[in-house]
Structure 1
């Protein structure tokens, strides 16, 4: 009622684990998340209820070292520019909450980077020493899958960095190393990926650019659908033994997204070897021979050789564009193929297909 009285119809109600509100005012988007006033973390009915307690914890440390406030801003700007900021399920990066804790833990932006560049494959941080060095023994196994295990100072049974994936973890470590080796303001500016850059990057290889018009909906939901399309393409490439030399995806948060893949221009061998069961397993060996009439035995195991369904990635990706899995996650999608000598485009919508 208060928001609508101030901003009228500009206020949009969004559904989540607890409904919240969003509005755009003077070109800035604001989100208002209702929380319960609680004194202890155990009284939280929703994860957001603990947010004021986290703010109090941060403010306590900033009083001891006020300069950390600017360092927190630097850390968030750095991570945004490096495309590793945001704990949404389609981003899988560092949340603002996580960066608050890390800057306070390392007492500054530069010390944070100095330590981060040398993090282990799995790094454990318990700033308040809640678990007395026994984090791996005491924290629930379901919260130990991320490469960074950061014990929440307010809720010690929680890994604050659980959303972070290995790709963003490694990308951040590299960015930290590169910045420290040669500091520059450019590390704080998000660089737009352009077609010209990608065509230059591909060299004599093949570049696939997949442009996607996303569906309407809540940002996190739409972002997840786009991520699933990207992962569907990359998983299919791996299944058929194509190894991208470069890959990524971008979304403007509105009506345009694109996926890019750089692959070797040379075709794969015409046939593929399929491993089968041990020759001593009579039942499974018989089934394998029935499915693959031409088999050979090597070191006690059956193998078959079959024609490879796709020798180059272009027809594979083209075949994926029209699958229900892709079409139900976007409004339309198009593929443009850039080889050394030609350019070809295929467009697919939810209603019709066209090729040129």
Structure 2
């Protein structure tokens, strides 16, 4: 007998029979269209094919299976031609996107359709590109997930409600396939959460028993959660799951098991912040907030976001090296602009700074140090303290904004390729309330309201 809370959730997220019929009918039409236009087989993949999609999700993934004798260039050419032909047949609209190679994302009769070319191989050992693996995922689960579809729906909705669903780079959470494998591994939603409440970093799940023991697996993979792909033993399905999202999921599972409530299945509503509220919050915090703003590169988020984070870390290290204490840093990717935000505990410094010299007994270096700072140094030093020389010198950057304005310095760091191109063209330094804009009102609100999702659920429960 299922818990009443979970049964109520299922009543709201199970696809209706009408919706199931519409989705499968559309899928079959698309498959037939691929065969007619390209002369190759096709298959529906993903949660729709396995009956594990949440009501309202009208996403259909169609994989077009081309002979492995084709070159990569021929696969791309024939695959895109077939995809465009399918879209034209249904009078849909489309946009080219790029994973390992181009594919079409289309809107056809109200459905969000991905038309993806791949190689028709006999096993994952014969894969010629990463997308070749996806059909094997569908075939594997179709034979095993029957009877567990409701449990998968609960796991997906629980992950969405807790903000840990989605394997994109911005989220770094659980993919749909990972949710399905976890439910399969533990035999149900509740058993999974009971286990997850006791997870530890380096948790290992090997459904097919490819490896002799967990120790062997941990030598090959270092991620916090290791779920061996049952169709490819060299791949960790949970590789995209960040340590933070893994920890948040453990916290959510622990709290839900202790006090089940429907609020755990409801995503937090995004909140905005007005410019006045933003200024008041900054005043209350007493920190200095600086941001770099520049044009958003014309690439998908999964390409740009990792580059933004790489750039953020590089600049954060530069600020720290110059004694500017960064409290927190975040990135945001808007339709028009990107934002790299730094909240500083120390943003302005005195003129002088301490320069460490060599030990006294390293004579050549010590003599050079003394000679360098003996002349034209208006501050104290050089002097000896214990076994080493020191001196006071004028600081290069007195204000964090001065460092950020030094374009040559900033761009000398480890900057993402497409982000660098955009920043080389132009970037603007914003300070405190000037950072606010309608484009980032939800991002800035979320920044100040930062807390784990489980903590937010507890706040909801406290007010019930």
Q: Same fold (TM over 0.5)?
A: yes
Aligned with residue 341 of structure 2, among 256, 260, 285: 260
Matched, 1:329 2:422: yes
Matched, 1:7 2:90: no
What is the CA distance between 1:221 and its match in structure 2?
2.8
Aligned with residue 403 of structure 2, among 300, 316, 326: 316
Q: Distance in 1 between matches of 2:85 and 2:312?
A: 42
Q: Distance in 1 between matches of 2:180 and 2:369?
A: 56
Which runs of no fewer than 5 residues in structure 1 stay unpaired? 347-356
Q: Closer, same or farther in 2 for the Cα pair 1:137/1:220, shift >3 Å?
A: closer
Asked whether the equivalents of residues 62 and 68 of structure 1 are also in contact (C-alpha less than 8 Å), the reply is no
Task: State the match for 2:299 in structure 1.
Answer: 217
Report 1:1-356 matches (<5 A).
1-8=81-88, 10-25=93-108, 29-78=112-161, 81-82=163-164, 85-88=166-169, 92-136=172-216, 140=220, 143-144=221-222, 146-174=223-251, 176=253, 183=261, 185=263, 188-192=266-270, 194-196=272-274, 199=279, 202=282, 203=284, 204-252=286-334, 254-264=335-345, 267-268=348-349, 271-274=352-355, 294=381, 300=387, 305-319=392-406, 323-324=410-411, 328-330=421-423, 333-338=427-432, 343-344=433-434
What is the CA distance between 1:153 and its match in structure 2?
2.0
What is the CA distance between 1:303 and its match in structure 2?
5.1
What is the CA distance between 1:48 and its match in structure 2?
1.7
Q: Distance in 1 between matches of 2:434 and 2:203?
A: 45
Q: Distance in 1 between matches of 2:194 and 2:324?
A: 36
Q: Tell me the secondary structure at the aligned position of residue 102 of structure 1.
A: helix
Q: Distance in 2 between matches of 1:266 and 1:156?
A: 49
Root-mean-square deviation (Å): 4.1
Asked whether the equivalents of residues 288 and 344 of structure 2 are also in contact (C-alpha less than 8 Å), the reply is yes
What is the CA distance between 1:138 and its match in structure 2?
7.4
The structure with the greater share of residues assigned to helix is: 2
Asked whether the equivalents of residues 290 and 429 of structure 2 are also in contact (C-alpha less than 8 Å), the reply is yes
Q: Distance in 1 between matches of 2:247 and 2:384?
A: 41
Q: Closer, same or farther in 2 for the Cα pair 1:154/1:336, shift >3 Å?
A: same
Task: State the match for 2:28 in structure 1.
Answer: none
What is the CA distance between 1:87 and its match in structure 2?
4.0
Which runs of no fewer than 5 residues in structure 2 stay unpaired? 1-80, 375-380, 437-464
What is the CA distance between 1:156 and its match in structure 2?
1.5
